[in-house]
C-alpha cells in the first residue's frame, strides 16, 4: 500500500482515521509466529491461537471481535438444530472471529467437519493475508476461506458460482453503514433460508440504526424476508450487544 495518505485509496484513509492499519496488525502476525510455543501449543489449536491473539490485542488496544463475544456466539449456535455448517462473515479484519467460527462449526459437527464451510470476507488485502496466515496456523484452512474485496461482490459470486446455495449463519462486522445494504444483497441473492441466523456486532455502539429499523419493520412489509430479533448482552466493555436475527420467512 502507498505510504502517503495523499495517494492512498479512500478505504485506507478511513482505516487510519479509525486507528487501523498503523502497524499493529503486522505486529500481531510477527508476535504470533515468533512465539516459542508456536509448534508445541499453537499449531492446529484454534483456541490456543485465539488466546494468543487476545493477549496481543489487549496489550495493543486493538478492536477485535474478542473471546467474550465468540463464546456467547458459541452458545447461540449450539442451540441451532441441526447444527450450522455454512457461515459467511462480513468483515474479517485479522481473522480472530473467522478462527472462532471455524472452531465452533467444527466442534458442533463431529465426524462431519469436511462439510463445514466459513467464507470470511475482508475488504483490505493486507488484513486478509494476515487472517489467512492465522487461520492456517489454527489448522482451519480446510474450513475457513478468506475472500478479499467488497462483501456484496463476494456474496453474489458465491451464489452465481454455486459455491454456496444457502447459509445457516451470517455474521456482520463491517463498516456500519454497509449493514443494511449488505443485508439486502443477501436477501436478493437468495442466500438466506428459513432458519438462517444473522449475528451482528456494533448495533448498539457505534450503532446501526437503519439496519436495526429495517429488521424490526420486516414483519410489517409485504413480501420480503421476515426476521425475529433478539438482543444478547455480553460482558464486553464496549459494544455489548450481539443482535441475533432469525429468518422466519423467505419469499
Residue 16 covered by a domain:
no
Q: At 20, is the pLDDT very low, low, confident or very high (cuts 50, 70, 90)?
A: low
Residue 150 covered by a domain:
yes
Q: Which domain holds residue 86?
A: 66-249
Residue 109 covered by a domain:
yes
The CATH number that applies at residue 214 is 3.40.50.150
Cα 185 to Cα 161: distance, rounded to the nearest angstrom? 16
For the cut 80, the answer to whether the pLDDT of residue 219 exceeds it is yes
- Average pLDDT taken over every residue of the chain: 92
Residue 58: how many other CB atoms lie within 10 Å: 12
Residue 220 covered by a domain:
yes
Residue 37 covered by a domain:
no
Q: Is the pTM of this model over 0.85?
A: yes
- What per-residue confidence (pLDDT) applies to 43? 99
Residue 216 covered by a domain:
yes
Residue 245 covered by a domain:
yes
Q: What average pLDDT does this structure show over 2-7?
A: 33
Residue 56 covered by a domain:
no
For the cut 70, the answer to whether the pLDDT of residue 6 exceeds it is no
The structural domain count of the chain equals 1
Greatest alpha-carbon span in the chain: 59
For the cut 80, the answer to whether the pLDDT of residue 124 exceeds it is yes
Q: At 10, is the pLDDT very low, low, confident or very high (cuts 50, 70, 90)?
A: low
User: pLDDT by residue (tens digit) across 63-108?
Assistant: 888 899 999 999 999 999 999 999 999 999 999 999 999 999 999 9
Amino acid at each position: 500500500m502507498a505510504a502517503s495518505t495523499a495517494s492512498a485509496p479512500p478505504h485506507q484513509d478511513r482505516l487510519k482515521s479509525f486507528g487501523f492499519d498503523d502497524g499493529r496488525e503486522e505486529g500481531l502476525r510477527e508476535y504470533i509466529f515468533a512465539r516459542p510455543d508456536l509448534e508445541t501449543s499453537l499449531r492446529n489449536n484454534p483456541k490456543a491461537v485465539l488466546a494468543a491473539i487476545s493477549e496481543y490485542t489487549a496489550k495493543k488496544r486493538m478492536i477485535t471481535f474478542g473471546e467474550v463475544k465468540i463464546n456467547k456466539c458459541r452458545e447461540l449456535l449450539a442451540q441451532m438444530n441441526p447444527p450450522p455448517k455454512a457461515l459467511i462473515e462480513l468483515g474479517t479484519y485479522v481473522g480472530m472471529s473467522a478462527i472462532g467460527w471455524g472452531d465452533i462449526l467444527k466442534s458442533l459437527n463431529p465426524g462431519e467437519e469436511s462439510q463445514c464451510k466459513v467464507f470470511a470476507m475482508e475488504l483490505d488485502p493486507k488484513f486478509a493475508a494476515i487472517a489467512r496466515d492465522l487461520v492456517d496456523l489454527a489448522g482451519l484452512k480446510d474450513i475457513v476461506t478468506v475472500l478479499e474485496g467488497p462483501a456484496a461482490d463476494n456474496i453474489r459470486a458465491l451464489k452465481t458460482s454455486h459455491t454456496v446455495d444457502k447459509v445457516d449463519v451470517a455474521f456482520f462486522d463491517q463498516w456500519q453503514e454497509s449493514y443494511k445494504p449488505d443485508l439486502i444483497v443477501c436477501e436478493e441473492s437468495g442466500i438466506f433460508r428459513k432458519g438462517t441466523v444473522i449475528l451482528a456486532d456494533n448495533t448498539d455502539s457505534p450503532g446501526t440504526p437503519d439496519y436495526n429499523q429495517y429488521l424490526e419493520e420486516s414483519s410489517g412489509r409485504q413480501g420480503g424476508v421476515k426476521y425475529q430479533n433478539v438482543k444478547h448482552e455480553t460482558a464486553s466493555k464496549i459494544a455489548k450487544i450481539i443482535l441475533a436475527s432469525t429468518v422466519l420467512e423467505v419469499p
